Chains A and B, each alone.
Chain A
Amino acid sequence: MPSRTLLIAVGVGLAIAIGAGVSYAAGDRSAGTDGAPVSFAPLGAAPGETFASPDDALSSALKNEFAGTAIDSASFGSIPDGAPSSADGLWLDVTVAATNDSVGATLGDWESAMLIGYLQQALHDSGLPQIGGFSIKLSLPDGSTADLGGGGPGNVAFGQQFVSTPEDAVAASLKRDASAAGVTITSLQFLHTGNTVPIVTVTASDAMEFVSAHPSVTGVFSDSGPFEGIYVLVQDAQGRPVEMGSASFRSGIGAAWYAPGYDGGDRGAGNGTG
């Protein structure tokens, strides 16, 4: 996991109390696929920084909010044949580095989802064309790339008000959540999007029992949210990663990874059990 400096983030918009059981999990779109957008947090946040062009917004994000992440590159390109993007939509091509730790590309994967959501809000605030779709590639140690896939930006409401309180206060709240779930936070960093976006590593003394009870581990920290996003890595007592959970609530995308043996051994593609 890339190191990040723990900074005190000064939030924008409405201050949201943390550690007081605040949880907003409306979660899923409130109507059909052509219905109202998904919201994961109260709406009404003030517009953020504005940009003159999509490229300006992307360049700024890569130099600032997403500097030091596993995102190797990102650029706006042409819409691939067959992709259901609107004609005036932007297509974002993202390449993430395959790191050498045992959880593969999950961090870069999540950071890509965060970038997509962040850009979508910034482009909206700037009155610029929206992201119509994206592709994600993995850059491998030998210099080659592998296509993963892609999709659309998610039908998520603009102006969600996420936790933006100082990181030390969020850290205290996260520690309380972890303690209540029976795990210990062993690493805590933040992605600096302007909101407070935790990257948490916890250690579980009985990892199998904990993973079994928390198949979507980000829920452990829902009382401290709603966060713009969160990445949680679970390690066993020997420091081996056993589970990862992540969510990006501007793009509406979540992910889960389990170490072999911790998914029960029978969830995986190729045998009808994915």
Chain B
Amino acid sequence: MSLQVIALTFCAVATYGVFAPSASASSYFGTRLLVQGDCCGGADITGDRATITAPNSNFTTTSTLCALQREDMEGNTVPPATGDNRLIQTGLVKCGTSVSGGLDNTCSLSGNLVYYTEVLWSDAYHCTALGQATYSSSHKFSVWESGGSNNIYYTFFDGSKDPTSGYYYVTMPYIWVAVSSGELTSCFSRSDCNSHGSIDVPGTYASSGGTAWQRYDPADSSWHTVQSSPTCAGPSFLTCGGGGWSFVNGPPGPFDIDYNP
């Protein structure tokens, strides 16, 4: 990867990129995390998916916050974690009406709840809105190396690739994590998030009647329901529970990743 990209790539320590939190345009997460190599008997993870049910009603996102619920795969171009970081994720996002420019300057510009796809390459996040989301509706969101061992990860909406959905694939040879998570952007701590105003992110993952949270194992070419997850295996600032985030129930059954200040 180019020198400038390398220069901009976050400093990495061991498996995770570990960074010192500081104020600004960061995010605050409640995350269920599968770490490549550490979970699932060391199986490779080349996809994750779950049905995500949108909140029952319009929820408030004030000030500069965007709230997301997503399925996500993250990795890199070279091992270990020193190359160009990559990710691809899909789910739901709603930004506060005062967030000029929405998420990544395009998604949820008018404070509406939308389906989205986001990719990271060249250290820049790229978002495309996939359509207006309906409250209480359930859809299956997937990220998957569907072509086999070609390192190309696609997003899927209800099991289909959408040819008009803007960015929907990324080349990512080395996978680190598969993630189901809630996210608040533009804050870095509970107090900072709270300072932006009250917000409740009440969606449900793997909701009843839908697809459970699953990982894809290329060894047997099958999806496997996640029985549990090392929810706090990430860096210390990754708030997996507490701090305003709560996990209601959990895999293998439906679970909520909520933020309730």
A and B from one complex: yes
* Chain B residue nearest in CB terms to A133: B163
Nearest CB of A to B106, in Å: 3
- Chain B residues whose CB sits within 8 angstroms of the CB of A254 once the complex forms: 101-107, 126-128
Q: Please classify the interface of chain A as helix (H, G, I), strand (E, B), loop, or mixed, using the class held by over half of its residues.
A: loop
Contact check, B129 vs A257: say whether CB atoms are below 8 A apart. Answer: no
- Chain B residues whose CB sits within 8 angstroms of the CB of A271 once the complex forms: 16-18, 74, 176-177, 234-235, 238
* Chain A residue nearest in CB terms to B181: A272
Contact check, B24 vs A216: say whether CB atoms are below 8 A apart. Answer: no
Q: Judge if B5 is at the interface, Cβ distance under 8 Å.
A: yes
| Among B23, B101, B120, B166, contact of A274 (Cβ-Cβ < 8 Å) | B120
Q: How far is the CA of A92 from the CA of B14 in the complex (A)?
A: 38
For A130-172 the 0/1 string (1 means CB < 8 A from B) is 0011000010110000111111111100000000000000000
| Among B11, B123, B177, contact of A257 (Cβ-Cβ < 8 Å) | B123
| Among A152, A208, A256, contact of B24 (Cβ-Cβ < 8 Å) | A208
Q: Judge if A238 is at the interface, Cβ distance under 8 Å.
A: no
Contact check, A270 vs B81: say whether CB atoms are below 8 A apart. Answer: yes
Q: How many residues of B contact A (CB 8 A)?
A: 102
Q: State which of A47-55, A60-68, A183-191, A217-225 sits at the interface with chain B.
A: A217-225
Q: State which of A1-9, A12-20, A25-33 sits at the interface with chain B.
A: A25-33
Q: Judge if B248 is at the interface, Cβ distance under 8 Å.
A: no
* Chain B residue nearest in CB terms to A89: B163
Contact check, B122 vs A262: say whether CB atoms are below 8 A apart. Answer: no
| Among B23, B77, B169, contact of A264 (Cβ-Cβ < 8 Å) | B23
Nearest CB of B to A98, in Å: 4
- Chain A residues whose CB sits within 8 angstroms of the CB of B134 once the complex forms: 32
Nearest CB of A to B161, in Å: 3
Assess A99 versus B146: contact at CB under 8 Å? Given A33-B131, A220-B100: no
* CB-CB contacts below 8 Å: B1-27 with A: 1-5, 7-8, 10-12, 15-27
Q: How far is the CA of A29 from the CA of B99 in the complex (A)?
A: 18
- Chain B residues whose CB sits within 8 angstroms of the CB of A245 once the complex forms: 101, 104-105
